[in-house]
Amino acid sequence: MTSTILIDRDGATATVTLNKPGKMNALDLEMWSGLARAFQALSADDSLRCVVLRGAGDKAFAAGADVAEFAVVRSNVEQARAFAHTTHAAMLAIANCPHPVIAMIQGACVGGGLEIASVCDMRICGASSRFGIPVKRLGLVVSYDELRPLVSLVGSAVALEILLEGRVFDAAEALAKRLVNRVVPDAEVHEEVLAAAHRIGEGAPLVARWHKRFIRRLDSPAPLDATEIDECYACFETEDFRIGYGAFLAKAPAVFVGR
């Protein structure tokens, strides 16, 4: 990976870090490209059970776009369209990652940072975290592909409030708006996210991947076909089901193998 996108591995959990703390992890074109590559690589690793996405340091998950590079990479319609292909690819790579993804949010989570967090499966933040998409100040529009996850998460009325007012608000309000799953004291964010990753990792990994995919599929208005409905019962043919069922009867912890 690039120096601004880091990947660390601890057992079955991988951590992806947005690594530009000197600029509060503001996102530039290189970081968006690296983020897509990172999640494409992690998606191909069946030994993983959870991915944590975080910003370096404790001041920001990501403080939006690196506006300083706009003059070079986003100064006109053609450049903006090309830039959007890269940002959308990164967001799709996170959303389509088969492994559960937890956003570890400390400090500012605004603009593109909030867009990235919205495609994660869970969001856990510190009490002093701040949220918002203040693009109205730049005269910028959030594209359909960037809006869709946010609207799915909070609904159209709240999404409009966030965009039209452009306020930066606190963690308590983010929780009330359903932007985050839980708020914990700042000093406990790292511990709580790793504990959540551990709880996910203790479960059957195939089941976690199925549930993630099924719930994402329900965002589509298209009716489920017979093949999709039947896939809900494929778990009964897995080794993990036999392991889990046997462990339940024996009143013992299950050790799943992902098959």
Q: Is the distance from CB of 127 to CB of 171 less than 8 angstroms? A: yes
| Nearest in space to 26 (alpha carbons), one of 67, 85, 86 | 67
| Beta strand pairing call for 108-110 and 122-126 | unpaired
Tell me: the pLDDT tens digits for 28-56?
999 999 999 999 999 999 999 999 999 99
pLDDT (tens digit per residue) in 89-123: 999 999 999 999 999 999 999 999 999 999 999 99
pLDDT at res. 75: 78
Q: pLDDT tens digits for 244-255?
A: 989 999 999 889
Q: Which pLDDT belongs to residue 1? A: 54
Judge whether 94 and 101 are in contact, CB under 8 Å: yes
Q: C-alpha angle 144/148/154, rounded to 5°?
A: 135
C-alpha span between 254 and 258 (Å, rounded) = 12
Q: Which amino acid, one-letter code, is at 94?
A: I
Full set of structural domains in the chain with CATH: 5-200 (3.90.226.10), 204-250 (1.10.12.10)
CA-nearest of 187, 194, 251 to 54 is: 194
Q: What are the pLDDT digits (tens) for 129-146?
A: 999 999 988 888 899 999
